């Protein structure tokens, strides 16, 4: 049996823990695990205890297998048991964020007995509520610290507990749980399985911070930046995350270039059209990004109900038409001015072509802005995953194709 660490050794471990914790918080799980693998299990356990349970679970999953057992043995017994349970749930679920429920009592216990038990617990844990369960572990009620303070010590817990308890289920995705707690704002939520057995606790702060990270990561995901990437991520790992999406973006850019190549003769005859290709691509791209942002927000907040997808697409198409019609007037005026300045005999026709192309491309981009995340979600992918890349491809192809195609048909 290994001897207990002496006081100098414990001081060294504590210094290492304090040094490592801020750095680990800034790293992705894989990089954090690589860094922690160089330190003793006791140091790693101390660092992980200072992190959110979900983050700690992700790092444990990346640690070398031979090191995990040592880290789990170095954790407090209750925490180790809880984290072993947590690992059976999917990433992003409430089950991955649970802490052990320590202040758990039987209903026949008196208030005085519960207070005495809490005196020992609060020395090593932050206790917010006391939980009352039956012999099978099913949650019966919650007791607040205020009720314990102002109730006679001889009273039984079942006489002061709140019996109508709101709880979360461990397999619930974070996004769904956030919708349920939106108007509650409790500091801690009990987590119970299908039979009502108390399996852990999740803190509201942990949920909100995790959700805040998901929202900030969504912006990067739209353009192919992985959620794991942080400011402190090594450049080689960042390159590995980003480069495949840029290759995909390049491939889709070739598609847009191919559209221009199809109408090369038209471009050669009407070079003036090349001036307005980026105008249409930029305007329709912004229209699509507006629709994309609203759709992603609706999906994230759960505002888009089942069966309302068609109405959303029709709304974005209508907005695209109206925005395209009014901005198209300005673009058509610009085309007329430039064509007249160059003494082009087709100035009026070219203006009409620009107006029609901008209206059509804005309608198409509005539809694509709504359809891209909806389609990704239907196929089980993150709706934000590289959605901007797919949207940009669609808007470029449609805007350039419409402008050059209409010009080819109308101007002979």
pLDDT computed for residue 32 by the predictor = 86
pLDDT in tens, 291-305: 888 888 787 667 777
Q: Which of 213, 230, 233, 210 is nearest to 53 (CA)?
A: 210
CATH pick for 7-75 out of 1.10.220.30, 3.90.1150.10, 2.40.110.10, 3.20.20.70 = 1.10.220.30
Give the span between the Cα atoms of 351 and 337, in whole angstroms.
9
DSSP class per residue in 5-70: PPHHHHHHHHHHHHHHHHHHHTS-HHHHHHHHTTS-HHHHHHHHHTS-HHHHHHHHHHS-HHHHHH
User: CA 37 to CA 233: how far, in whole Å?
Assistant: 17
Rounded CA separation 20/335 (Å): 61
pLDDT band at 228 (very low <50, low <70, confident <90, very high): low
User: Which residue's entry shows tokens 């629709």?
Assistant: 291
User: Burial level of 265, CB count in 10 A (0-12/13-18/19+)?
Assistant: exposed
143-158 average pLDDT score: 92
Task: Kindly report the pTM of this predicted structure.
Answer: 0.58
Question: What are the domain boundaries of the chain?
Answer: 7-75, 104-222, 235-410
Mean pLDDT of 48-71: 85
Helix (H, G, I), strand (E, B) or coil at 112: helix
Q: Say yes or no to pLDDT of 218 above 80.
A: no
Distances (CA, A) of 122 to 12, 72, 125, 175: 26, 22, 5, 31
Domain 104-222 has CATH 2.40.50.140: no
Judge contact between 226 and 240, C-beta under 8 A: no
Residue of 250, 252, 269, 257 whose CA lies nearest to 401: 257
In Å, how far are 64, 176, 185, 254, 255 from 245, measured between CA atoms? 29, 29, 39, 14, 15
Q: Measured between alpha carbons, how far is 78 from 205 in angstroms, rounded to an integer?
A: 21
Element (H, E) at 120: helix 111-121
Whether the predicted pLDDT of 252 surpasses 80 = no
Instruction: Please tell me the predicted confidence (pLDDT) of residue 229.
Output: 58
Residues 221 and 218: their CA atoms lie apart, in Å, by: 5
Does residue 93 carry a pLDDT above 50?
A: yes
Question: Tokens 């003036």 sit at which residue?
Answer: 272
Q: At residue 75, what are phi and psi to the nearest 5 degrees? A: -80, 155
Share the mean pLDDT of the chain: 85
Q: How confident is the model at residue 223 (pLDDT cuts 50, 70, 90)?
A: very low
* pLDDT-above-90 percentage for the chain: 31
pLDDT confidence bin for 412, thresholds 50/70/90: low
Question: Tokens 């739209």 — which residue?
Answer: 222
CATH class in words for 235-410: mainly alpha
Q: Which two tokens stand for residue 352?
A: 């009409």
Residue 220 has pLDDT above 50, yes or no: no
Q: How many Cβ atoms are within 10 Å of 226's Cβ, its own excluded? A: 18
Distance CA 398, CA 273 (A): 15
How far is 37 from 67, CA to CA, in rounded Å?
A: 8
First CA to last CA across the chain, in angstroms? Answer: 92
| 178 has a pLDDT exceeding 60 | yes
What is the arithmetic mean of pLDDT over 344-362? 92
The predicted structure's pLDDT at residue 170:
94
């Amino acid at each position: 049996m290994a001897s207990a660490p002496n006081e100098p050794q414990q001081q060294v471990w504590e210094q290492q823990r304090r040094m490592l914790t801020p750095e680990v918080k800034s790293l992705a799980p894989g990089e954090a695990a690589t860094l922690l693998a160089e330190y003793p299990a006791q140091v790693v356990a101390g660092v992980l205890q200072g992190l959110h349970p979900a983050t700690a679970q992700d790092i444990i999953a990346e640690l070398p297998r031979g090191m995990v057992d040592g880290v789990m043995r170095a954790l407090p017994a209750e925490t180790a048991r809880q984290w072993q349970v947590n690992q059976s749930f999917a990433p992003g679920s409430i089950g991955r964020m649970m802490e052990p429920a320590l202040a758990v009592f039987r209903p026949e216990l008196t208030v005085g007995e519960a207070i005495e038990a809490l005196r020992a617990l609060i020395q090593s844990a932050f206790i917010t509520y006391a939980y009352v369960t039956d012999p099978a572990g099913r949650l019966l009620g919650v007791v607040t610290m205020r009720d314990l303070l102002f109730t006679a010590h001889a009273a039984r817990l079942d006489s002061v507990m709140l019996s109508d308890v709101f709880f979360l289920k461990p397999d619930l995705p974070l996004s769904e749980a956030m919708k349920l707690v939106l108007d509650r704002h409790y500091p801690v939520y009990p987590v119970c399985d299908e039979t009502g057995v108390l399996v852990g606790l999740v803190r509201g702060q942990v949920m909100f911070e995790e959700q805040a990270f998901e929202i900030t990561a969504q912006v990067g995901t739209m353009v192919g930046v992985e959620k794991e990437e942080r400011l402190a991520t090594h450049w080689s790992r960042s390159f590995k995350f980003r480069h495949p999406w840029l290759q995909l973006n390049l491939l889709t850019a070739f598609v847009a270039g191919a559209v221009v190549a199809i109408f090369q003769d038209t471009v050669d005859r009407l070079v003036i059209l090349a001036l307005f290709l980026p105008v249409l691509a930029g305007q329709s791209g912004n229209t699509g990004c507006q629709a994309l942002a609203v759709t992603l927000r609706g999906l994230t907040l759960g505002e888009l109900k089942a069966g309302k997808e068609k109405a959303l697409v029709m709304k974005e198409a209508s907005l695209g038409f109206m925005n395209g019609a009014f901005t198209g007037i300005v673009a058509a005026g610009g085309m007329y001015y430039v064509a007249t300045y160059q003494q082009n005999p087709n100035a009026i026709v070219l203006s009409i072509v620009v107006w029609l192309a901008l209206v059509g491309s804005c309608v198409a981009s509005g539809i694509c802005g709504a359809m891209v995340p909806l389609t990704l979600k239907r196929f089980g992918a993150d709706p934000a995953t590289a959605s901007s890349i797919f949207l940009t491809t669609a808007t470029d192809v449609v805007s350039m194709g419409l402008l050059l195609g209409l010009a080819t048909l109308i101007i002979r």
